[in-house]
Amino acid sequence: MDVIEIIGGKPLKGKVRISGSKNAALPILASTLLTNSKVRLTNIPNLSDIFSMIELLKSLNVKIYKKNNYYTFKSDTPKSLIASYELVRKMRASFLILGPLLSRYGYAKVSLPGGCAIGTRPVDLHLEGLKRMGASFAIKNGYVHGSVKGKLKGTSINFKKKSVGATENLIMAATLAEGKTIINNAAQEPEIDDLCSFLIQIGAKIKGYGTDLITIDGVKELNGGEFQVMPDRIEAGTFALSVLGCSGDLILTGVNNEIYKHFKDIFKPIKFLKIKKIDDKSFSVVKAKEGVLNLKVTTKEYPGFPTDLQAQLTAALLKIQGLNEINEKIFENRFMHVGELRRMGAKIRKKGSKVEITGVKEIYGAELMATDLRASSCLIIAGLMAKGKTIINRVYHLDRGYENIEKKLKACGAKIDRIKK
């Protein structure tokens, strides 16, 4: 089993190329089920979650070829419309195939999803929306059995709360539905914009993406096409917060203007983390001379502070003078990293949905256990900041969302290695 070994105390300096976005790629991969024409995708990251989705699509008779840096997908009619527990249990995004299968074939049997253990994250919003479009569901033996008489029908859907996954599932389902679908209180994440841009590229009629009111006019069929997946803003944010924790100067490449503007906004309260645009595909992140910081950060839906950067921010603040507070409003069980950070000497107080971080002069290396994807990158940041050796177990969590993170950090001066234990 692999572990990550870190000798802390080194500032980061160099260039990091940001990989393609996992959270954009997964729904786009699922949407290849909507067309029987060839689709070519580039900038797909090499991650275990991506490989899991590819295996799931192959089980549904999608022919997939990889050459150089692009994938080609051709979705033929499957012999079975069952997405098994063995394939779906590994990650929650597998549930995104439900909308495409119902929309194109009128039936799907999909195992209830797995993924990170960071809260209940129910699928009720997905099912309620699809029911309004004419689908019927039964949940038996851990599977969702969905069916449609004829075609899904366009309708007006009002989400009671914003949900990225439900928004994506309903958009995909609506592309081949009869008539117009209106999604109110839609999530506004850039990854949804990327999905919509791809679907439009292959013939979908979608308006309003990027806002909370999305309109989809169903078409009879979708075509083939080519598309480049957007860069991963969470990976970029993880490296930016590594600079906050470790000091240094990084240039992030392969990004875009939207990520740059988003970071300028969400990191503005961190007065000594400086972000400067270099060109449309790169910006620098520098930690200026630090002082006392007293932040109050609340995780929110986009364009607010991402819940997927909460753990990394927690680690980066451990040695900064002051009392800093983070309020987790998206998921109810996303502080499992706190216990591991305390073992390193961190001074963190948890109160309900909040943590208070009192800066300490030093934290110390320890053997740690990653509990989920973003917690694993949080522990890497802490290890880079710590005095002495840190060993991180369960790095399979890390491999779900970060492509070669240890190699990228090592190229910037970090003493970090992946070793066999």
Report how far residue 202's alpha carbon sits from residue 224's, in angstroms, rounded to the nearest whole number.
5
Q: 163 φ, ψ to 5°? A: -145, 120
- Which of 116, 196, 378, 412 is an active site residue? 116
Rounded to 5°, the CA angle 252-243-382 comes to 125
Q: Write the CB contacts of 330 (distance below 8 Å, at least 6 apart in sequence).
A: 299, 300, 301, 307
Report how far residue 308's alpha carbon sits from residue 299's, in angstroms, rounded to the nearest whole number.
9
Residue 330: DSSP 8-state: S
> Which string of b and e fits 185-208 if b means at least 16 CB within 10 Å?
bbbbbbbbbbbbbbbbebbbebee
Q: At what angle do helices 22-31 and 48-59 cross, to 10 degrees?
A: 10
Report how far residue 54's alpha carbon sits from residue 309's, in angstroms, rounded to the nearest whole number.
26
Mark whether 412 is an active-site residue.
no
Q: Which residues pair with 248 in a beta bridge?
A: 12
Report how far residue 165's alpha carbon sits from residue 162's, in angstroms, rounded to the nearest whole number.
9
* 347-351 β-sheet, strand order: 296-298, 323-327, 354-358, 347-351
Would you name the residues annotated as active-site residues?
116
